[in-house]
Homo-oligomer: A and B are copies of this chain.
Amino acid sequence: MSSIKDFTLACPVPISDYPTVTLAHGGGGKLMHQLIERMILPAFQSPLLEARHDGAVFDLGGARLAFTTDSYVVNPLFFPGGDIGSLAINGTVNDLSMCGAKPMYLSCGLILEEGLPMETLWAVVQSLKQAAEAAGVQLVTGDTKVVDRGKGDEVFINTAGVGLIEHGLTIAPSSVKPGDVVLVSGDVGRHGIAIMATRQGLEFESKIESDCAPLNHAVQALLAAKLDVHCLRDLTRGGLGTTLIEIAEATNQQILIEETKIPVRDDVSGACEVLGFDPLYLANEGRMIIFVPEAEAGKTLEVLQHSPYTEGAAVIGRVTGDKGGVVKMKSRIGTTRIIDMLSGEQLPRIC
């Protein structure tokens, strides 16, 4: 018989510190990274996992493919600018895009809670359909499970996706080079504030909608323009700050960004001040950072500004050439500080 006892001799996570899973272990911050680094990566030991990318890239049957997955447990299911259905499609479309792949086929696994109104399920399915059409991907295989009332939370969705890589670039942290310019594809923090405001019943003067959007069209435009894209990463759990640190650590490079160049809408800044959040760590669902050689920064910006969902792109910093795997930020008042990961997320269940 398989039982817990068969496996528990060598659990490497310091059980004395965290004998049970906490919400912060899913928050995209330090604790989640520790869990993955100490428990999950050592168990599977695949070079594809070691790449610490948004998806796995491999050759299969002569094709160069990307493959990725994400589960979605966002609460609430519907929020300004999106819902769990559009999130589940765009999240996986974007992870494939970050590998430089053209997203082609998606799977969809639904975990439904007994008692879920059939109308809610219908609305989620319609949203999945519309988001898949907008991104130009096909949902080709799926699964439906139902759990007892009180053992789930309305709807959880997993999507996995397969994409095709049709160019010779290696778009990955390993390609980041000293001197690279860092661009962000638009204003940051809206998804986090939209979720928070809905959850807490807050109202702001202007309506803050999630940035939830597919980024494949913009990435394909960069590739069509023959730009030498070194690395792409979307800014989901943990936000811009955590994502930059992940890249810096994976490459042992130092990244320097300028606070004044990071696009943040005034209403998002205002909401952050009221709520005590830092937009640097707020989750986004339609934003990415782009690493390109300095000589191509201008053309990259131009392509992005003419592509859907990336019109607000901006250059925010560069890879300094110093070693050390740290991210520094030059503040509004001219001081420079090191950016650190948060322990968990500012908000649980953001995606």
Question: Which chain A residues have a beta carbon within 8 Å of chain B's beta carbons?
Answer: 1-4, 6-8, 11, 13, 15, 18-27, 32, 35-36, 39-40, 43-44, 46, 48-49, 55-56, 58, 60-65, 67-73, 78-83, 86, 104-105, 107-123, 125-129, 132, 138-148, 150-153, 156, 158, 160, 162, 164, 166, 207, 209, 348-349
Check A146–B22 contact: CB distance below 8 A.
Answer: yes
List the B residue with the shortest CB-CB distance to A43. Answer: B129
State in angstroms the CA–CA spacing of A3 and B164 once bound together.
33
Which of B25, B127, B141 interacts with A144 by CB under 8 Å?
Answer: B25
Residues of chain B lying within 8 A (CB to CB) of residue A24? 146
Q: Nearest 7 A-B pairs (CB), nearest first? A: A61-B63, A26-B146, A160-B160, A69-B107, A7-B123, A56-B140, A158-B158
B158 contacts A117, C-beta separation under 8 Å? no
A63: which of B62, B120, B143 is its contact (CB, 8 Å)? B62
The complex places the Cα of A119 from the Cα of B20 at a distance, in Å, of 8
Contact between chains at A11 and B122 (CB < 8 Å) = yes
**Does A49 lie within 8 Å of B139, measured CB to CB?**
yes
Given contacts A11-B118, A69-B141, A126-B43, contact A153 B151 (CB under 8 A): yes
